[in-house]
Amino acid sequence: MRRVVVTGMGALTPIGNTLQDYWQSLVDGVSGANLITHFDTAKFKTKFACELKNYDPATYFDRKESRKMDRYAQYAMVAAAEAVANSGLDPDAADKDRAGIIWASGIGGIETFLEEVRGYVTGDGTPRFSPFFIPKMISDIAAGMLSIKYGFRGPNFATVSACASSTNAIIDSYYYILLGKADLFIAGGSEASINPPGIGGFNAMQAMSTNNEEYQTASRPFDVTRDGFVIGEGAGALILEELGHAKARGATIYAEVVGSGLTADAYHITAPHPDGMGALNVMKLAIEEAGLKPEEIDYINVHGTATPLGDIAETKAIVRLFGEHAHKLNISATKSMTGHLLGAAGAVEAIATVMAVVHDIVPPTINLRNPDPAIDPKLNLTPNKAEKRTVRAALSNTFGFGGHNASVLIRKFEE
């Protein structure tokens, strides 16, 4: 079998606009939550989110170029550019027919859709839509723009599976390399949904925290006082390569992708299976594909959104799958710091998982003061402070509305 390794990463997140800043903030337990600045929230139930800090499109694009891109696509271009630079890859030296892009977004250009429809509704009824309306809005345009920028002519598409979307992008890239269809991928996801329909829609579902008084600590997975997720924005990108291809160009190898799982709950459009059956099966599949045993897993970066039902279902699945070893694992929910980046969550959390494997540091679950008694008290949820431990193999879980489950297994690279 061909082997797939991670050779580069890029991150644009609410707690750091570069890979290193993001990782340092994770280790330090920094919260990315603050009051929303993108629009007036006076009439909204939730007035806070995990926005990017100090993001200025002019830093990365000229004005004409940035106006042709929704923010989700801008974020994709920025994170991917860092990943390419971080990998030491020269795109012009690559075999472009065997290099691809698989890029995810759960929602795509929702802000563009809002702006264009608002203009039509408040106008005189004349359909004065921008010629860039559709290209800016569609969820696959980021993948297309990245392929144009780097000239990669291999597999190119978007994955959409709600909050599992960018884990799907990573897994699909992994599969294509294993199958010999390509040697190199830029994989990841981006999201820019902190806007009136994003906030209003999730408020209507009662899925998002409304703890406006304690907004900086409102993302509190596993805590008995949790009241929903805190929305985030940004992007994460990974360079995945076939091992021989990476070694031939002298690439730095961060870690190896060795297993994956994809399942469905087949239960409810938004709620998880109460016993976490889909979550259990997706982790089991990833471990089996890697040829490992459950007791060889050291860390799980859980989906952990801080929703009342989701956190319980996922921890139930972990206890059932791992048995007594569940109490020897480190578990953490990095959404406690970044917020929930929706379709980009899987990519930024896979990056956190790779970095945990590289540095033997488990980032914490912050804001965990009163653990929910419905969650096994013996689980090590890595509360509030990062922990140093050997991390040989780790899972990154993401689950999406519709019952989509995806899990990717990262292992220390060994010859």
| 172 to 70, 200, 317: CA distances (angstroms) | 25, 32, 24
Residue 383, pLDDT score: 98
Phi, psi angles (nearest 5°) of residue 213:
-75, -30
Name residue 157's beta-bridge partners.
102
Kindly name the residue from 50, 163, 245, 273 that is annotated as catalytic: 163
What b/e string do you get for 60-74 counting C-beta neighbours within 10 Å, with b at 16 or more? Answer: ebeeeebebbbbbbb
Stretches where the chain sits below pLDDT 70 are none
| 195 to 47, 111, 232: CA distances (angstroms) | 11, 7, 11
Report DSSP state, residue 205: T
Kindly name the residue from 245, 273, 340, 404 that is annotated as catalytic: 340
Neighbouring residues of 5: CB distance < 8 A, sequence distance ≥ 6: 240, 241, 242, 243, 246, 251, 253, 254, 255, 256, 257, 413
Report residue 197 as tokens: 């329909």
Report DSSP state, residue 103: E
Residue 415, pLDDT score: 87
* C-alpha–C-alpha distance, residues 357 and 188, integer Å: 19
* C-alpha–C-alpha distance, residues 250 and 116, integer Å: 47
**Within 10 Å of residue 57's Cβ, how many Cβ atoms?**
16
* C-alpha–C-alpha distance, residues 162 and 401, integer Å: 6
Write the single-letter amino acid at 35.
L
Active site residue 50: no
Active site residue 303: yes
Residue 1, pLDDT score: 79
- Rounded to two decimals, the pTM is 0.97
Whether 158 and 105 have beta carbons less than 8 Å apart is answered as yes
Pairing of strands 4-12, 255-264: antiparallel
Q: What structural domains and CATH numbers belong to the chain? A: 4-248 (3.40.47.10), 259-411 (3.40.47.10)
Helix (H, G, I), strand (E, B) or coil at 39: coil
Write the single-letter amino acid at 84.
V
- Length of the chain counted residue by residue: 415
Give 251-290 as a DSSP string.
----EEEEEEEEEE--S-SSSPPTT-HHHHHHHHHHHHHT
